[in-house]
Structure 1
Amino acid sequence: MTSVELYFSDEEEEILEVKRIRRSLRDSFNPMELDNDVFIRNFRLSKPAFLHVYNSIEDKLQLNIRQQAVPNIIKLAAALKFFAYGDYQTSFFENDLDMGLAQSTLSYIFKEVFDALESNICSKYINFEYKPDELRRVKDHFYEKYGIPNVIGCLDNTHLKIIMPKKDLRHLYANRKGFFSLNILVVCDDLMHIRYIDARNPGATCDADVWNKSSLKRKLHEDYCNNRKTGVLLGDDKYPLTPYLLIPYNNVEKGSLQEKFNNKHKLAQEVIEKMFVILKSRFRCLLSTKELHYSPEKATQITNICAALHNICLKYKVEMPDIQKENNQNDDNSIDAKYGEDEIIKTSSNELYNGGKLVRDSILDLFKKS
């Protein structure tokens, strides 16, 4: 045997040994045997929530026929750990456990699990259609706490940092702060449930345009035109004023009813700001200090899945992440400049603007009586 042949023989043996070690780790690893705190820290779900998600997607995952196949429960655990930490190295070679998975294997696993999660949990857990008791609860909350009637949720945008897209798409995804991103529209209710999400828009798209193109805006506009009184959303002054989206007053006088409305409006909006902090602390792949190394389409899919998982965490009362410990960075959602009403009105018809003004001014009459 030549020295070259001996070299390659040793190298092949090392590769085989690594594979044997990984298979041994994989076969011996059972995530359900982890301590509860370690389990939540690694996967962000409690064990009951994990099993619920697993049972929801198990029939969509490939059967493990080959001896070397990765068990489906490990596939889900690997995907959840990626959502929790946002990168391969941190996710799979540190932080309490090693699942015995090579990065090349993870790529195949992620595609399979992401597709299964998106098709099975997103539409089920992200739904703007309120049940009657839910609608009463959310409206009562915003009216009793802030004095603003008929509110069904709060609206805001946030950006998800992504890697540089293809050359002919870069101008679409470069946002005002100079990095590539998706501009994500989200609506949440009083309990921080995500009721609507649109994560498809490139980062160069302004918030008002994302809203104007959204299916939710079309639905609320259709309800308004057909005299179906669904309710109103609260958003900041990046958006146009309409009868179904109330924004703060511009240039208010100190001590005026308009200032009182703005203050209450700002307090009410804090629920979606808190939701973003919790969402991104729980699923750190969404943090602006990281960037998703995926195409815009795959980044959209990941965002939708994390939003659905967030709602599942709320359903199963999974403890909130330690924000002080988890968040060592300031994640700024605000990219767009804010505009005054004179500029915003240009993006909305006079009829809609005037209708929104009537709705907003009628709330000042309620403040006079309180």
Structure 2
Amino acid sequence: MTDNEKLEAKRYFFEKTRIPGIVMCVDGTHIKILKPAAGNAHLYYNRKGYYSVNAMIICDHKQRIRYVNSRYAGASHDSFIWENSDTSTYFQAQYENGDRSTRLLGESGYPLLPWLITPFRSAGVDSPESRFNKSHSKGRIIVERTIGVWKNWCRCLLSARQLHYAPEKVVQIVNVAAALHNIRIHYNISDEYQEEVYEPDEYVGEPVQPQRYTNEATQIRNEMLRSFL
């Protein structure tokens, strides 16, 4: 993102959430596939009961897909995919190089990091934590809408359908579909399929939480919480 795009995104997300520094949101979505012929087919069998790849999507405030990674099997946890992505490496490097005000929003399946803000777990009713979580959700809904619009336009990605290709080919299809989605947004192309049907996954299990940044990330989020007291 350019500096101007970052400023525009930060303004957008702050107005939505009162959480400073947010430029993009991240979420995972399953792309249904046939059972792979390889011996590691069990890795693609997800907890929903079908074979898939788990695609990590990062979008901006204009629903443009800024990053897509569908190389990992459906049984892979969202936090594992994040931790092994180029984006994770990039944002960590930016933070360590002095950029302390550029962040993403992610749901509870992702680790809490100084550059990746997740909601509080087990927040009490009408507590500051619950108010923070509601604002967090208002900002993060943009990635859910993006995935819904993307899948409704490229309907082979819907869970009601199924890609009849090897996982390696599916990665290529997903990448091209993401590029075409961005082209449609750039040229403001609309059609009858822009209907939101995406249902985000419910949070299951513990995310992989790097211990190196846990205290620092917790302190940053607690500072943000003061706006919700």
> TM-score, normalized by length of structure 2?
0.93
In structure 2, how many angstroms separate the alpha carbons of the residues matched to 1:191 and 1:337? 25
Structure 1's unaligned 5+ residue stretches are: 1-129
Larger Rg: 1
Cα shift at 1:338: 2.6
RMSD over aligned Cα atoms: 1.7
In structure 2, how many angstroms separate the alpha carbons of the residues matched to 1:333 and 1:366? 27
Corresponding residue to 1:292 among 151, 159, 163? 163
Cα shift at 1:230: 5.7
Percent sequence identity over aligned pairs: 34
CA contact (8 A) 2:43 2:73 kept: yes
> In the TM superposition, what are the counterparts of 1:206-245 in structure 2 within 5 Å?
206-229=77-100, 231-245=102-116
> In the TM superposition, what are the counterparts of 1:194-343 in structure 2 within 5 Å?
194-229=65-100, 231-323=102-194, 332-334=199-201, 337-339=203-205, 343=206
CA contact (8 A) 1:192 1:275 kept: yes
CA contact (8 A) 1:288 1:331 kept: no
Cα shift at 1:229: 3.0
Is the partner of 2:123 in helix, strand or coil? coil
Partner of 1:354: 215
Deviations 1:3-42 (A, max 9, x none): xxxxxxxxxxxxxxxxxxxxxxxxxxxxxxxxxxxxxxxx
Partner of 1:149: 20
In structure 1, how many angstroms separate the alpha carbons of the residues matched to 2:191 and 2:114? 35
Richer in strand (by share): 2
CA spacing shift, 1:268–1:162, aligned 2, 3 Å = same
Partner of 1:192: 63
CA spacing shift, 1:230–1:166, aligned 2, 3 Å = farther
Richer in helix (by share): 1
> In the TM superposition, what are the counterparts of 1:91-110 in structure 2 within 5 Å?
none
CA contact (8 A) 2:149 2:193 kept: no
Is the partner of 2:40 in helix, strand or coil? helix
CA contact (8 A) 1:278 1:320 kept: no
In structure 2, how many angstroms separate the alpha carbons of the residues matched to 1:270 and 1:355? 26
Deviations 1:97-141 (A, max 9, x none): xxxxxxxxxxxxxxxxxxxxxxxxxxxxxxxxx111111100000
> TM-score, normalized by length of structure 1?
0.59
In structure 2, how many angstroms separate the alpha carbons of the residues matched to 1:290 and 1:238? 25
In structure 1, how many angstroms separate the alpha carbons of the residues matched to 2:45 and 2:147? 22
Partner of 2:4: 133
Partner of 1:8: none
Corresponding residue to 2:54 among 174, 177, 183? 183
In structure 2, how many angstroms separate the alpha carbons of the residues matched to 1:323 and 1:317? 12
Deviations 1:313-346 (A, max 9, x none): 010001253455xx8xx65442x7434xxx44xx
Structure 2's unaligned 5+ residue stretches are: none
Q: Which amino acid aligns with 2:129?
A: Q
Is the partner of 1:260 in helix, strand or coil? helix
In structure 2, how many angstroms separate the alpha carbons of the residues matched to 1:176 and 1:190? 30
- Where do 4+ consecutive residues of structure 1 move more than 3 Å? 320-324, 330-333
In structure 2, how many angstroms separate the alpha carbons of the residues matched to 1:331 and 1:148? 25
